[in-house]
Each structure stands twice: as C-alpha cells, then as structure tokens.
Amino acid sequence: MAFPFPFPFPLLFLLFLSIPFSESKLSVDYYTKTCPDFDSIMRETVTSKQINSPTTAAGTLRLFFHDCMVDGCDASVLISTNPFNKAERDADINLSLPGDAFDLVVRAKTALELSCPGIVSCADILAQATRDLITMVGGPFYKIRLGRKDGFESKAELVNGQVPQPNMSVNQLIKVFAAKGFSAQEMVALTGAHTIGFSHCKEFSHRIYNYSNTSPSDPEMYPKYAEALRKTCSNYLKDPGMSAFNDIMTPSKFDNMYYQNLQRGLGLLATDHALSKHPRTKPFVDLYASNQTKFFEDFSHAMEKLSVFGIKTGRKGEVRHKCDAFNTLKA
C-alpha cells in the first residue's frame, strides 16, 4: 500500500507529539530574519573577550552549566539580587562564578540590542557563547537550537541540591544528574568540561592538608602533584581567591587529558578522582581517556541535551532588556 507521505501520517503525528512543545519552537536559524547579524556579532564578541581574558571559555561554560541545572537554561543565574529578592547568583555555590563570563554576556547583549533591539534573549546569548568558546579552545562543534526565552524567576534558595558539590559522593552526583534526565555516562562526559578552567583551593584543601594521621595528603593523589598544590595554596585561608588548574597538563586546551590525568592520580577535586574509581563511572573515564573522538561525540550530545533542558518559550518567558534584571520587577 502506498502512502501520500514518506511515512504513515499517524506515525508522523506521534513522532511530532514525542517532541516537547517548547523544544519544537527552537531552531538553529531562529534569528535569520529578525536578527541577521546574530552569528557574526556573537563571534566577534566572543573572540575579542577570549583573546583578552583567556579564562573566559571555562568561566562561561561553568556559568551556563550552573544556569541550566537550576530550573533550566533560562538565564536566571544572570539576575542580580534586589531588596525584594536574593537571586541565584548569590547562592553560596555561585559566589565564585567568574566575572568575565557575566561581562561577556553583557557585551554581547549590548551589541545585539544596538543591531536588533528586543529580539535576542540572554538565555540564547549564554548558550551560543558557550558553544562558540568551547570550539575556540579546541573542543567540538555542536548545534545550538535558538529561541529560548528568559525566565521570570531567580531565587537563591532554589540552587541548593541542584548543582554538583565538590564534597558529593559519586552516587549523590549520579542522583543529581538523573533527576534531570542524564545518565551516568552523560554525567561523566559533561564532567569532561573540567579539561579547562580552575578550582579554588578551598574546594580541594582537604585532600592536600592534614588528610590523616599517617598522610598529609590523599594517598590516591600523585605525591609530587600534592606537594606542588600545597605550595600553590599555601596562603588560601587569607586569600580565598587562590586556585589551581583542573587540568595541570593542558589547562587551556579542550581535550581528553582530564580523563588521562584521573588515571594518573592527577585529579584535582575529590569528585573527579572518585569518577575514576567508582564501578558505574570508571568504564567511561577509561573510554574517554583512550578515545578523544568518542569523548567529543558524547560531550556534544550531552551539551545539546543540556542546552534545551527546562527552557522557557512563548509566554513562559521574556526577552530581557538587560540580562541582570527582569523587565518587570519580581519579588
């Protein structure tokens, strides 16, 4: 029997229904007609910022992740606290989010408002900038579907338990990601973002100082690495900004060296090291350590999935005039 469509119409209808309605409104060419210079403005802004501040890529990736993990990718982490509301960015775990990442979004928004006022959302700016920066420092290219709206809510109390903490067990980490629909393998792939960037000394100090009665540092950590970290962080109690690269070998290049480091006892955070030992995550650490192509493929897939998590479209969101404030004051 021949059908007037490539597939039976009922099947096509069911396939359409299987796509969340909010996601179906997104497209890679969303701004082609309404803001034709969107891509070029984003590239110019991202390139300029990264050249002048090389830590921007890692900072923006972290900012994007922290935004998406709390009620979806809706730019809620960009909102500033006001007298009526303590916003997400002032939650304890977000206080160390880097200023360069916020600055990049502000610069891009300013340029886009001059070119096409009131059209491009802050959520789309953050998603696109993250992808462009990952590619710029050697990582994979993946498609970003556009058309997100900016959220109407940003509350610090909603952050707790939604973002991975450096003191969590692997089982706790798996639970955090599973609650948002991510598998253990997708979690390990996303954690590969630690191939760039840095962590503050306070986040791993327990591994290098007074670890136990028999060892000053975690015996699972390569001894000379632990010794170097103790010197790097020697004054961290007085200077909380002191930090170390997550990937000591290629800190500015997006590659699979992070996973190779874990196998050698060169993991910085306790959670990083634990991934290389836990039976549910070790196979994926070993896989990505030996196969960068597979890591890039899985990371790209996981980032595409993350980028549409909990998005707002239509009347469920807005296009903010300024990324750090709602268009109408919200309590």
Residues 306 and 190: beta-carbon distance below 8 Å: yes
Cβ atoms of 224 and 230 closer than 8 Å:
no
Q: Give the CA count within 13 Å in the CB-facing half-sphere of 39.
A: 11
CA distance readout (Å), 11 to 1, 5, 7, 19: 15, 10, 7, 13
Q: Report the candidate in 195, 182, 185 with the shortest Cα–Cα distance to residue 69.
A: 182
Instruction: Report the alpha-carbon distance of residue 23 to residue 308 in Å, rounded.
Output: 7
Pairing between strand 198-200 and 243-245? antiparallel
Q: Please report how many Cα atoms fall inside a 13 Å half-sphere around the Cα of residue 296, on the Cβ side.
A: 14
Judge residue 73's burial from the number of C-beta atoms within 10 Å of its C-beta, 0-12 exposed, 13-18 middle, 19 or more buried.
Answer: buried
- Distance between CA 72 and CA 75 in Å, rounded? 8
- Dihedral of the CA atoms 272, 273, 278, 283 (nearest 10)? 80
Amino acid at 30: Y
Active-site amino acid positions? 66
- Which residue, 138, 125, 141, 72, is CA-closest to 299? 141
